[in-house]
Chain A
Amino acid sequence: MTQPAHSTVDVLANFNRQALARALNLLEDRRPNRQAQALTLLDTLSTLPASAHVVGLTGPPGVGKSSLISRLIEPQVQAGRRVAIIAVDPSSKVSGGALLGDRGRMQLPGQVYARSYAARDRLGGLSREAFSAVFLLRHCCDVILVETVGVGQSETDIAALADTTVLVVQPFSGDLLQFIKAGVMEIPDILAVNKADNQELAQKALADTQAALSLARRPVPPESAAWDSPVLAVSATTNLNIDTLIQALGAHWQHLQATASLEKKRAAQNLEWGIGEIVHEVGQRGLAALGGVEGVRAAWHQQPAHWSVVRKLSVLLEDVQYRTSSR
């Protein structure tokens, strides 16, 4: 295996956007030799701190996720943070193609790196490529804003990736609130009711959303990790409460650190993602071949600590192949 030149890693860690783009192209490349290079690159990077705050914004199409991200960028750039954006759009089931239009809704200052992904065969969720991109970017910048389309159950992917999940809704989002009430949807870390430039509607929406949250079945979190999800009325159009939203993001990030839950959360997410990918690739039978969820968990923990999660997964997938074919 060839080691990526250390200079490449340095350049990436310095948020060089030309190099980042090339690295992300490589992560997507399915040709075997490129995949090997990609894994090596990720391994090398995983020795660096993964210090970026990964913020996921999810919600139905048209609620203003891209517009909100656009508003979140400037203050962060002003504050000297290196910002990366990953935007995911659904793929057409008929053709497999996708229209990636989110960056068009964003004001992108020159210092920002932004890339769009098609969900491909994941229902409105995140493709492996998008996950890998975030895994890489975590080592290269300060904030990663991830936009995914989510309605109901299909946005669970983002919860397995983001440190902080923001659910964006708009006035008249009754269906979505039903999902929360019914417990179908996990409770986000922050709930943003966008388009609050319309005062009257926004007030009503706030009330509905709060009611839905309080009715939702919440698993009782360990004392120390308790976090009360705030509900914020915001407007991407008028910039209303964008500062409050940024504060809430910061508060949640602080909270994760103060309660030492970031590492745990990420470890759990990574495993959850790994299992999801295994099921996606080789189905329940493949999972069973690895000894089910428990087997994967055990194997995952036994793998060398310096492996990137993507390598962990790919080794497990090779393992399944080996086991199912040698039967």
Chain B
Amino acid sequence: MDTDRSEDKPPERLQDRPKDRPWVMRTYSGHSTARASNELYRLNLSKGQTGLSVAFDLPTQTGYDSDHALARGEVGKVGVPICHIGDMETLFADIPLGQMNTSMTINGTAAWLLALYIAAAERQGVEPQALQGTTQNDIVKEYLSRGTYIFPPEPSLRLISDVITYTVKNVPKWNPVNVCSYHLQEAGATPVQEVAYALCTAIAVLDTVRASGRLDAAEFTAAVGRISFFVNSGVRFIEEVCKLRAFGQLWDELTCERYGVDNPKLRRFRYGVQVNSLGLTEAQPENNIPRIVLEALGVTLSKDARCRAMQLPAWNEALGLPRPWDQQWSLRIQQILAFETDLLEYGDIFEGSTVVEGKTSAIKNAVWAEVERVTDMGGVISALGYIKEQLVASHTERVRNITAGDHTVVGVNKFTETADSPLYSGDSSAILKVDEAAERDQVARLQAFRATRNQAEAETALSGLRTAVLNGENIMPASIRCALAGVTTGEWTQTLRDIFGEFRAPTGIGGAAAARTVNGETAQELEELRTRVRKSAATLGRPLKVLIGKPGLDGHSNGAEQIAVWCRDAGMEVVYEGIRLSPEQIVTSVRDEGVHLVGLSILSGSHLRLVPEVLTGLRAEGLSDVPVVVGGIIPEDDAKDLRQAGVARVYTPKDFEMLRILSDMVEVAEAAA
């Protein structure tokens, strides 16, 4: 027998090549107050986490101080409130910023939070040159999915460009922008859409930077090298491997061809990841752990396309906010993957795989075609409406497939039989509850801060900011002066709101395709529902008209969009105005539009404040006979309270059967007539 020489060689193992360095391990966290979050961060670091990922509360993300009317009930809920430099210093107390790698999920107010970070570092005696981390700073995906935008596209792009040009010169180790595809997948995007629209965003950003004329050729090339990405990874992990390989190759080609970057190192596709959370379920939530593990494989298996940083959601993702133990379990997944398995011991295991190559190039081709389509429309900003419609349509497809059973979700539409769970009994005890006192505490400290700061200095700094904005100067130096002078988040943002104005993003539902023929049973059910809706006009006197409302600062639009589109497809007339409405605005719409039913969608955890406000407003307008249903992340205890307060029905993610929800809605409307 011929002996193959290579058989004598031991397989490539740890002893032959150094093990790869693991990715940065983070947990997306923050809540209540800067002090409470600081404690949590230090705890997380002590467990072996290697970087920080800051979740801000919605008022901070949308530029309101904790004592603003629109912030009521939202302070410290889904993240940490940061109103001024004092909060920022508290957040990082005893965490040496010179050594930390901090990722901040901040967009509309990114320039400001970076200014606060730089100022807080200065107070710790740390030079900007030493700072490492990331500001998310991608406004396009805020318009398309995430919802914490403030200003119109043009000034928003200018702010992004200002942050880039400033950091390239002054904070060279900072990632000024994390172009996000993550949130697109969370809004229903297919892998091709995810990559294509993220690339279009990167093009818009880099084109703006180039056109700003602030950077010379070498600096611009450096800026291209600083662009990083924040991607998603779903449970179809082989396709995800291919997607990320395609993404990397496309970025390499784009930066070479469009931006003339010669140095391959600066063309490298650097990305962080949060794995898919849209597919994590409320039913049998323990099944989410295997899902998360498989999703993590998608971004780690292929060495050539491996992530630089990772954060994983928790098993109780669809129930509410994770507790420290829940987050620890997810951190352990990362640690097991990196330190127990042999993952980091090999080169790229897909090298030479024709299957992976084929899939990768198919994705690449489809992505290019979509990028070209958007380019022909004048680029990502001009195409916002089109892109949003595409996302809603893809998500509608996904929901339809789950409803029809074409897309299997274990424990949800298949294998639903279950023993009692020792982990979760259906009550509200398995999630983090934010102390209601945190908001009062935060507001009191904010007001004390304002009372003791040097008012004249703050005002001078603010007028300097105004001048800088109006003169088209880079906003960062004036913002850092504001930070040091004790200006607040609300003041900084209001100054810009006064100059730039505000924006409302397209909802994408107008053009969403009507439910295509679903398979047998579901199609028939839909037809029956349509008949039922048509007949309800006799009871109601006119065609059933509903309003789907999104009160508060909550940007989770998926559920509302899907309910709206499906109501339309069932034959209802549907008023939907998009996200971030005040309870008063919703009440006015209900009155003016003469709807038969109001459906509120709230996933931000502020339902116990917002829903009663809407109910009170309706009563004041003499509309207490209009029934209200509510959907979203509503723990069962709260659902009881809401029903007690007069809400007709409450829905949560486990209610995935759209047609059943819709037929309920008809019933509720008819009963009230």
Point out residues on A near B: beta carbons under 8 Å: 17-18, 20-22, 24-25, 28-31, 34, 61-62, 89, 91-92, 94-101, 103-105, 108, 110, 113-116, 118, 120, 129, 237
- Evaluate contact between B568 and A103: CB separation under 8 angstroms: no
B 563-599 binary contact with A (CB < 8 Å = 1; else 0): 0110111111111111000000100110111100000
* Alpha-carbon distance A18/B504, docked complex (angstroms): 27
24 sample A-B contacts, Cβ–Cβ < 8 Å, listed by A number: A18-B622, A21-B593, A21-B594, A95-B514, A95-B568, A95-B569, A95-B570, A97-B533, A97-B567, A97-B569, A97-B570, A97-B572, A99-B509, A99-B510, A99-B564, A101-B510, A101-B575, A101-B577, A101-B578, A103-B589, A104-B578, A105-B504, A113-B592, A116-B575
Interface centre among A97, A101, A105 (most CB of B within 10 A): A97
- Evaluate contact between A61 and B510: CB separation under 8 angstroms: yes
Name the contact of A101 in the complex, choosing from B569, B572, B576, B588 (C-beta under 8 A): B576
Say how far B604's CB is from chain A's closest CB, in angstroms: 19
- Evaluate contact between B622 and A94: CB separation under 8 angstroms: no
B542 within 8 Å of A (CB atoms)? yes
B 489-504 binary contact with A (CB < 8 Å = 1; else 0): 0000000000000001
- Evaluate contact between A89 and B510: CB separation under 8 angstroms: yes
Say how far A235's CB is from chain B's closest CB, in angstroms: 12
- Evaluate contact between B568 and A99: CB separation under 8 angstroms: yes
- Evaluate contact between A95 and B622: CB separation under 8 angstroms: no
* Alpha-carbon distance A278/B554, docked complex (angstroms): 48
B 610-643 binary contact with A (CB < 8 Å = 1; else 0): 0000000000011000000000000000000000
Write out the residue numbers on chain B whose beta carbons fall within 8 Å of the beta carbon of A114.
592
**How many chain B residues touch the partner (CB < 8 A)?**
40
- Evaluate contact between B588 and A110: CB separation under 8 angstroms: yes
* Alpha-carbon distance A256/B585, docked complex (angstroms): 36
- Evaluate contact between B568 and A97: CB separation under 8 angstroms: yes
Write out the residue numbers on chain B whose beta carbons fall within 8 Å of the beta carbon of A30.
537, 541-542
Contact A28/B594 with A97-B569, A110-B588, A120-B543 known, Cβ cut-off 8 Å: yes
* Alpha-carbon distance A120/B537, docked complex (angstroms): 13
Say how far B381's CB is from chain A's closest CB, in angstroms: 11
User: Which are the 5 A-B pairs with shortest beta-carbon distances?
Assistant: A104-B577, A29-B541, A97-B568, A25-B594, A28-B542
B530 within 8 Å of A (CB atoms)? yes
* Alpha-carbon distance A8/B572, docked complex (angstroms): 30
B98 within 8 Å of A (CB atoms)? no
B268 within 8 Å of A (CB atoms)? no
* Alpha-carbon distance A9/B592, docked complex (angstroms): 18
Interface centre among A89, A95, A115, A237 (most CB of B within 10 A): A95
Within residues 502 to 534 of chain B, which ones have a CB less than 8 A from any CB in chain A? 504, 507, 509-512, 514-515, 530, 533-534
B 78-93 binary contact with A (CB < 8 Å = 1; else 0): 0000000000000000
- Evaluate contact between B573 and A98: CB separation under 8 angstroms: yes
Say how far B342's CB is from chain A's closest CB, in angstroms: 52
Say how far B594's CB is from chain A's closest CB, in angstroms: 4
* Alpha-carbon distance A61/B509, docked complex (angstroms): 13
- Evaluate contact between A115 and B592: CB separation under 8 angstroms: yes
- Evaluate contact between A34 and B541: CB separation under 8 angstroms: yes
The dominant DSSP class at the A interface is mixed
For A29, give the chain B residue with the smallest CB separation. Answer: B541
* Alpha-carbon distance A120/B545, docked complex (angstroms): 12
For A93, give the chain B residue with the smallest CB separation. Answer: B514
* Alpha-carbon distance A99/B569, docked complex (angstroms): 9
- Evaluate contact between B568 and A92: CB separation under 8 angstroms: yes
For B575, give the chain A residue with the smallest CB separation. Answer: A100
B385 within 8 Å of A (CB atoms)? yes
B152 within 8 Å of A (CB atoms)? yes
For B622, give the chain A residue with the smallest CB separation. Answer: A18
Write out the residue numbers on chain A whose beta carbons fall within 8 Å of the beta carbon of B543.
96, 118, 120
Write out the residue numbers on chain B whose beta carbons fall within 8 Å of the beta carbon of A97.
533, 567-574
Contact A100/B573 with A30-B537, A30-B542, A95-B568 known, Cβ cut-off 8 Å: yes
Say how far A105's CB is from chain B's closest CB, in angstroms: 7
Say how far B323's CB is from chain A's closest CB, in angstroms: 37
Write out the residue numbers on chain A whose beta carbons fall within 8 Å of the beta carbon of B567.
97
Write out the residue numbers on chain B whose beta carbons fall within 8 Å of the beta carbon of A100.
573-576, 593
Give 5 new A-B contacts, CB below 8 A, not counting A99-B564, A113-B592: A29-B542, A99-B574, A101-B575, A108-B585, A110-B588
Write out the residue numbers on chain B whose beta carbons fall within 8 Å of the beta carbon of A103.
575, 577, 589, 593
B 471-505 binary contact with A (CB < 8 Å = 1; else 0): 00000000000000000000000000000000010
* Alpha-carbon distance A22/B623, docked complex (angstroms): 10
- Evaluate contact between B510 and A108: CB separation under 8 angstroms: no
- Evaluate contact between B575 and A108: CB separation under 8 angstroms: no
Write out the residue numbers on chain A whose beta carbons fall within 8 Å of the beta carbon of B542.
25, 28-30, 129
* Alpha-carbon distance A289/B510, docked complex (angstroms): 41
Write out the residue numbers on chain B whose beta carbons fall within 8 Å of the beta carbon of A110.
588
* Alpha-carbon distance A155/B515, docked complex (angstroms): 27
Write out the residue numbers on chain A whose beta carbons fall within 8 Å of the beta carbon of B565.
99
- Evaluate contact between B569 and A92: CB separation under 8 angstroms: yes
Contact A104/B507 with A98-B573, A113-B592, A115-B594 known, Cβ cut-off 8 Å: yes
Write out the residue numbers on chain B whose beta carbons fall within 8 Å of the beta carbon of A21.
591-594
Interface centre among A62, A99, A237 (most CB of B within 10 A): A99
* Alpha-carbon distance A61/B512, docked complex (angstroms): 13
Name the contact of A98 in the complex, choosing from B530, B568, B589 (C-beta under 8 A): B568
Write out the residue numbers on chain A whose beta carbons fall within 8 Å of the beta carbon of B510.
61, 89, 99, 101
- Evaluate contact between B530 and A96: CB separation under 8 angstroms: yes
For A22, give the chain B residue with the smallest CB separation. Answer: B594
B 218-240 binary contact with A (CB < 8 Å = 1; else 0): 00000000000000000000000
* Alpha-carbon distance A72/B5, docked complex (angstroms): 82
Write out the residue numbers on chain B whose beta carbons fall within 8 Å of the beta carbon of A104.
504, 507, 576-578
Interface centre among B533, B571, B585 (most CB of A within 10 A): B571
Say how far A71's CB is from chain B's closest CB, in angstroms: 12
Interface centre among B568, B571, B592, B621 (most CB of A within 10 A): B592
* Alpha-carbon distance A17/B565, docked complex (angstroms): 29
* Alpha-carbon distance A189/B515, docked complex (angstroms): 39
- Evaluate contact between A18 and B541: CB separation under 8 angstroms: no
* Alpha-carbon distance A2/B506, docked complex (angstroms): 46
Say how far B562's CB is from chain A's closest CB, in angstroms: 12
* Alpha-carbon distance A232/B628, docked complex (angstroms): 45
Write out the residue numbers on chain A whose beta carbons fall within 8 Å of the beta carbon of B577.
101, 103-104
Write out the residue numbers on chain B whose beta carbons fall within 8 Å of the beta carbon of A24.
594
* Alpha-carbon distance A61/B506, docked complex (angstroms): 13
Write out the residue numbers on chain B whose beta carbons fall within 8 Å of the beta carbon of A98.
568, 573-574
* Alpha-carbon distance A97/B537, docked complex (angstroms): 12
Write out the residue numbers on chain B whose beta carbons fall within 8 Å of the beta carbon of A94.
514, 569
For A70, give the chain B residue with the smallest CB separation. Answer: B504
Say how far B595's CB is from chain A's closest CB, in angstroms: 10
